[in-house]
Structure 1
């Protein structure tokens, strides 16, 4: 089994934990604060990762360059924008449709990978990406009345367009992070990933901190009062991001993000086994497609 596969699955599991923690924080702070926590409280851990690799494993620090800085800025801003649009979707009653379209990220990452890096996914990989995307969208709209009229209307709805925009920005961010990591040229994929993570998360922390100081200083007080759960979110978020960056240094961003859809299986399993919610045929079909797409990715 190629190394990027278990790294991606581990990152997806940790991201699921981070999402649970952020949902908890939404009860004590706003969307901006809950988004900031994943960056600001993840920063010390990102620095620790680099320090451990440098000091304990004697890996030299990569030499930063202008291309690296450009990709970090593009990726960091795109991710913040994508996250904002995703949170904004929850203010709509029919947010499920928009959320489904945001999950087109792997397919869009394949397009941007071709445009920015000249990377062309294989036919098998592209088929696997399409299968997982369809599976995730089925789960996301499983409780929305499914007919041709609603399906056609949803494609041009406001929530669908916001969701697509979110997926576009997530796709750009994924490709930008891969480009940033690859531009370092060594010494190892883990040090490249850790350096990219530290640089990106530092930039994102500064941007969001400046925004809150300008627009919502009260949010900083709410964040400070919830520092313990915020620390957990920061740790699992930074560790998950290290996994993403490492996997995307080894493999095309679109392929990694397609396998990352396994996160939906983790979320779905928690919903069924822990919250005892009933499932319908559409959700089962969506899970089956995700599993099929993942198996295709692993076997090709």
Structure 2
């Protein structure tokens, strides 16, 4: 789901501003998330969520971090091709593992740190299209920043979900709806103030905008639910399977050709993820 969402975002980014493409991710996702939560309550008896200031703070932090991560990833699409942009943003897995070890009392074994180092090498390869000595620092910094923001998003999402203490499906659905609504309001306010013409641009591209929101909502249901069950490092590293789908979409839909160096880099990202899971 996420691979297709990213593919549609790349296509929309050729016609709409970064803020507009980011808004497309959330614009129609709120009704889908609300419908999903309603259906869950029809089949799973559960009380209303115990909302608090701490929960609201985590939702706001996660919302802002994901908006920033998405905007940075769209900037990557404009710097390099689709597969490489997503590959760089996938540094979130190793960043999340490192942050979990430092701030969430989850120390890593030597196998896990090997995965972190392999992932770092992969990001370095992906950011450097030319000779080894001519690294693209701009691509590297944007990619790592996107990965960092995505990692912070999932860490805060997991904390918010566990805070509710409800059945994991219900907790994940409440967090998902809260985050999407917050993001939609923030982005709508920003666009209305800074670039109102962007709303018109999205209005005239309804199918593409709806497709982005639809696949984003389905992908987020998977992410948020999984993070209510398992640690962020495990969820995000397993989610690296997205890179393989991305390669297929990149080759078949966008007709983009990857250099051997790019394939090695994306392959190393998957290897780094597997090492973290094995650890």
Counterpart of 1:86? 73
Q: Given the alignment of the two structures, is residue 70 of structure 1 paired with residue 49 of structure 2, yes or no? A: no
Give the conservation status (yes or no) of the 8 Å contact 2:237–2:277. Answer: no
- 1:107 lines up with 2:94 in the alignment: yes
Q: Deviations over 1:263-291 (max 9, x none)?
A: 12111123345566555432443354344
The reply to whether residue 38 of structure 1 matches residue 38 of structure 2 is: no
Instruction: Confirm or deny that 1:146 pairs with 2:126.
Output: no
Alpha-carbon distance change, 279 to 136 in structure 1, aligned in 2, over 3 angstroms: same
Which shows bigger deviation, 278-287 or 239-248? 278-287
Q: Give the structure 1 partner of residue 177 of structure 2.
A: 198
Distance change in 2, residues 1:197/1:268 (3 Å): same
Offset of residue 243 of structure 1: 0.8
Change (3 A) 1:242 1:125: farther
Q: TM-score, normalised by structure 2?
A: 0.86
Give me the TM-score of the superposition, normalised by structure 1: 0.80
Task: Please tell me whether the aligned partners of residues 94 and 159 of structure 1 are also in contact (alpha carbons under 8 angstroms).
Answer: no
SS in structure 2 at match of 1:150: coil
User: How far apart are the structure 1 equivalents of 2:273 and 2:146?
Assistant: 23
Q: Which secondary structure does the structure 2 equivalent of 1:58 belong to?
A: coil
Q: 1:173 deviation in Å?
A: 1.2
Residue matched to 1:246: 225
**CA–CA separation in structure 2 for the residues paired with 1:135 and 1:263:** 16
Aligned with residue 22 of structure 1, among 1, 6, 9: 9
Cα offset for 1:22?
1.6
Please tell me whether residue 286 in structure 1 is matched to residue 265 in structure 2: yes
CA shift, 1:92, in A, is: 4.9
**CA pair 18-101 structure 1, distance change in 2 beyond 3 A:** closer
* Aligned residue number for residue 189 of structure 1: 168
3-state SS in 1 of match to 2:142: helix
Partner-residue secondary structure (3-state), 2:46: coil
Cα contact 2:101–2:107 (8 A) shared by 1? yes
Q: Structure 2 stretches of 5 or more lacking a match? A: none
* 1:40 aligned counterpart, secondary structure: coil
1:20 Cα deviation (Å)? 1.6
Pair 1:267 & 2:251 matched: no
Q: Deviations over 1:131-182 (max 9, x none)?
A: 34544653x347x1132x224xx4xx34433333222222211211111111
Which residue is 1:175 aligned to?
A: 155
Within 2, Cα distance between the matches of 1:15 and 1:64?
A: 29
> Alpha carbons of 1:73 and 1:215: their partners in 2 closer, same or farther (altered >3 Å)?
same
Say which is worse superposed, 83-92 or 59-68, in terms of deviation: 83-92
How far off is 1:218 after superposition? Answer: 1.3
